[in-house]
Amino acid sequence: MAVAAACAAALPLVAGEVVSNGGFENGTLITSPWSGLSNSGFSVIRGNARSGSYCLRYQATTAPSEYKMPRQSVTASSGQTYRASVWVKTDNLSSGEAVVGIEWNDANGNWISGSYLNPGVGVSGTTDWTRLSIESPRLPANAAKAYLLVYVREGSLGTAYFDDASLVRLDADPVPGLYSSAYRNRAADGEVTFAADLNLAVAGYSASGVTGEFVVPLAAGGTATRSPDTLTDTYAKLTVPASQLATGTVTFRLKRSGSTVASKTLSFTKLASEPQTGVRIDRRRRMIVNGRPFFPVGMYWMNVNTSGLPDFAAGGFNFLMPYGRATVAQLDACNANGLKVFYTLQNFYPFHRSPSEGIVDDATAEEKTREHVALVKDHPALLGWYTNDETGSEHAEALTERYQLLKELDPDHPVWIVVSQYDRMPAYMPTFDICGTDPYPSGASSYPKVYDYPARQIADTFGIRPLIEAVPIIKNGSWLPTASDIRGMTWLALCAGAEGICYYCYHDIKAGAGGVSFDERFAAVSEVARELRQHEDVFLSDEDPVAASVEGTSDIVCRTWKKGGNTFLAVANKTWNAVSGTVRLGSSFVAIKTLLGEDQTLSGNTVAVTLPARGMSFLALRDPAGEEWEPKIVNVRMEQMPNGTVRVDYELRYAPAVITLDVLTNALNRAGMPVQ
């Protein structure tokens, strides 16, 4: 009996509806299995129902000082995903919204976390029946109970009706997907990493009790079956040189006791050479624009104001993401100023909170998508497509279909999404080429998420997708970031693994948000943008970086790049307190130079780091075999010109990468070639 019970516990829970009385048809006297109705403004009433005879009503003439959350609980398990929904109708609901959510607790009833709709996505005012839905991430190992919540936000006045509430346990697959680091599964050179998304917990498995195998098509003919380089509870990965691969099907098989229990496939295309036109992603997760690496530094705009483009470009930015779709003439103006544009399609869905005009169903959404792609896909200013701005993972199927359509219509430009649902990336994985998240810290306790959110995204996308991170520059709560704060957040995102930055946002600072003038705000963010652009050749280097880890504290984070044989180290403080720690490197170095931020101390393969609150450092570390740091003029060539002058050509080598006018002038003076 004990053995049988243990085996049963290892089986995934059956998918389907898991709550009862979602329509509140038990009537006014019996509320079970719902709880949280007493003294809350909620009551079960006859009439006004969407279906059946009863519904749940919220009514308040005095604003409540706390959230009111009727709920129903179900047994949960590790790795399981849930989708909650409810139909809502409102009558003059103000100062808040009617919403739906999911929470999960441990076996002792302690709250672990929850999934909640973003502000503005719920229902308010006076509306007819509207369906709201949200999806949970995969629940953690200590989750024992899941809760369906139907509720109103704090301070809500007026009336709301709820009916046909649902909590669905989604299908549980121990191998939900198979992906590759090759841009759209196409590669000519370099290495290709294949990553299988694993959810072993949902099937009661663990990495120690299973094996995996990848079957890859070979350039030499046939296929090869290879064990993963790494297999954990959440992923399996295999890296193969592209030169060994052929066009064909790649398969991953999960095995237990010698038998295949789940598998996934993908179609891989071996290219003769990498494209030299259009925009793609390379093996380093760098954007490649017309064959050249591109480090994106941009801002969100509401609409393109062409008169502001010259100053924007001079501020150090090389792209913009306008929410209003740019016209061809506006794209022309961006191109004339050396600026690229992500073209927004993020509200081309009938379920969007503000659907684009004319979109009423899937057919009109596809028609409008095709129309706009055809209009601008060949424009030289186009950098890619922006298809998701915080749309929930419950719409992953529609988002995947849109991504597949864009791949078909325009193979030359990537798809970028930015979501606040940073913990649900496995569900989003089939929907994008580039991801990002948008943390909005309002104080000391929330500041670390500027690093934590993108770091989680990169981990959950198996390190094979680039990330362009949204960094806030506007006032949130009572905190208005200074130029130093913007720099600190930027470098936290870079340390997390970001391959580009997009600041939020131009239109708010243009309107004087936070009570600060546009000139002051723009100068603050431009200062940081220009610093990034000055060092972009380091960020875009193709050399393998040196390993680095922080010891002594979890408040300091770091990242390295390598260029010219030398290493560049970034360190940043996640907190609003001064911190100290040590960075241990995979190599020893002979000198250190501060390029930005605070000075630090080098000793062989360690750097002693001390940072103020929200502080950072960007450091150059000289390898004994690396390039010289002092500017050095080499390969001098002289040519007598017909007019009697001498033409001098030369190369200037400078490892720290930033060649300012002063650096150039001093180097030429030392070489006896003064600048006039």
Pairwise pLDDT comparison (9 vs 524), residue with the higher score: 524
- Is residue 270 within 8 Å of 242, Cβ to Cβ? yes
How distant is the alpha carbon of residue 64 from its chain centre? 35
Neighbours of 9 (CB within 10 A): 9
| Lowest-pLDDT range of 36-40, 145-149, 463-467 | 36-40
pLDDT tens-place string over residues 216-251: 999 999 999 999 999 999 999 999 999 999 999 999
How distant is the alpha carbon of residue 643 from its chain centre? 59
Which region holds residue 166: left if phi is over 0, alpha if psi is between -120 and 50, else beta?
Answer: beta
pLDDT tens-place string over residues 612-657: 999 999 999 998 887 777 667 777 787 888 888 878 777 776 666 5
Predicted confidence at residue 622, as pLDDT, reads 92
Dist. CA 419–CA 118, nearest whole Å: 11
For residue 433, pLDDT beyond 50: yes
Of the candidates 35, 42, 37, 71, the residue with the CA atom closest to the CA atom of residue 59: 42
Q: Do 12-169 and 548-622 agree at the fold level?
A: no
For residue 289, pLDDT beyond 90: yes
Mean pLDDT calculated for residue range 313-329 = 97
Neighbours of 601 (CB within 10 A): 11
Question: What band does 3 get if pLDDT is binned at 50, 70 and 90?
Answer: very low
pLDDT tens-place string over residues 86-131: 999 999 999 999 999 999 999 999 999 999 998 889 999 999 999 9
Predicted confidence at residue 368, as pLDDT, reads 97
Of the candidates 386, 375, 427, 396, the residue with the CA atom closest to the CA atom of residue 298: 386
Of the candidates 370, 439, 376, 357, the residue with the CA atom closest to the CA atom of residue 402: 370
Predicted confidence at residue 515, as pLDDT, reads 86
Predicted confidence at residue 158, as pLDDT, reads 95
Dist. CA 357–CA 343, nearest whole Å: 16
* ω into 656 cis (within 30 of 0): no
Confidence (pTM): 0.89
Question: What band does 659 get if pLDDT is binned at 50, 70 and 90?
Answer: low
CA terminus-to-terminus distance, the chain: 93
Predicted confidence at residue 670, as pLDDT, reads 66
- Is residue 168 within 8 Å of 81, Cβ to Cβ? no
Fold exhibited by the domain 281-440+448-534: TIM Barrel (3.20.20)
Fold exhibited by the domain 548-622: Immunoglobulin-like (2.60.40)
For residue 667, pLDDT beyond 80: no
For residue 572, pLDDT beyond 60: yes
- Mapped onto helix, strand or coil, the DSSP state of residue 626 is coil
Predicted confidence at residue 38, as pLDDT, reads 73
Predicted confidence at residue 648, as pLDDT, reads 78
Dist. CA 497–CA 463, nearest whole Å: 9
Pairwise pLDDT comparison (33 vs 248), residue with the higher score: 248
As a whole number of Å, the CA-based R_g of the chain is 28
Predicted confidence at residue 63, as pLDDT, reads 75
The label of the residue with tokens 């600026």 reads 339
Mean pLDDT calculated for residue range 412-436 = 96
Tell me what percent of the residues of the chain surpass a pLDDT of 90: 82
* Continuous segment of H or E residues that includes residue 495: helix 483-496
pLDDT tens-place string over residues 336-393: 999 999 999 999 999 998 899 999 999 999 999 999 999 999 999 999 999 999 999 9
Length of the chain: 676
C-alpha angle 242/418/508, rounded to 5°? 140
Burial class of residue 322, CB neighbours in 10 A (0-12, 13-18, 19+): buried
Amino acid 139 reads L
Percent helix, strand and coil across the chain, each to the nearest 5: 20, 40, 40
Question: What band does 671 get if pLDDT is binned at 50, 70 and 90?
Answer: low
- Is residue 665 within 8 Å of 631, Cβ to Cβ? no
295 strand-pairing partners:
none
CATH class assigned to 12-169 = mainly beta
pLDDT tens-place string over residues 251-277: 999 999 999 999 999 999 999 999 999
User: Token pair of 257, please?
Assistant: 């006791």
Mean pLDDT calculated for residue range 305-331 = 97
Which residue stretches of 302-342 are H helix?
309-314, 328-336
For residue 7, pLDDT beyond 60: no
Sheet containing 415-418, strands listed edge to edge, beginning at the edge strand earlier in sequence:
415-418, 382-389, 340-344, 319-322, 297-301, 500-504, 468-472
User: Token pair of 306, please?
Assistant: 């062409």
pLDDT tens-place string over residues 468-502: 999 999 998 889 999 999 999 999 999 999 999 99
Of the candidates 567, 551, 548, the residue with the CA atom closest to the CA atom of residue 559: 548
Domain 177-270 of CATH type 3.50.50.60: no
Q: Where are the domains of the chain?
A: 12-169, 177-270, 281-440+448-534, 548-622, 632-670
- Is residue 617 within 8 Å of 597, Cβ to Cβ? yes
Whole-Å CA distances, 620 to 146, 478, 527: 49, 36, 20
Dist. CA 198–CA 200, nearest whole Å: 6
What value does the mean pLDDT of the chain take?
Answer: 92
Predicted confidence at residue 28, as pLDDT, reads 65
Predicted confidence at residue 632, as pLDDT, reads 72
Dist. CA 201–CA 85, nearest whole Å: 25
Dist. CA 480–CA 316, nearest whole Å: 22
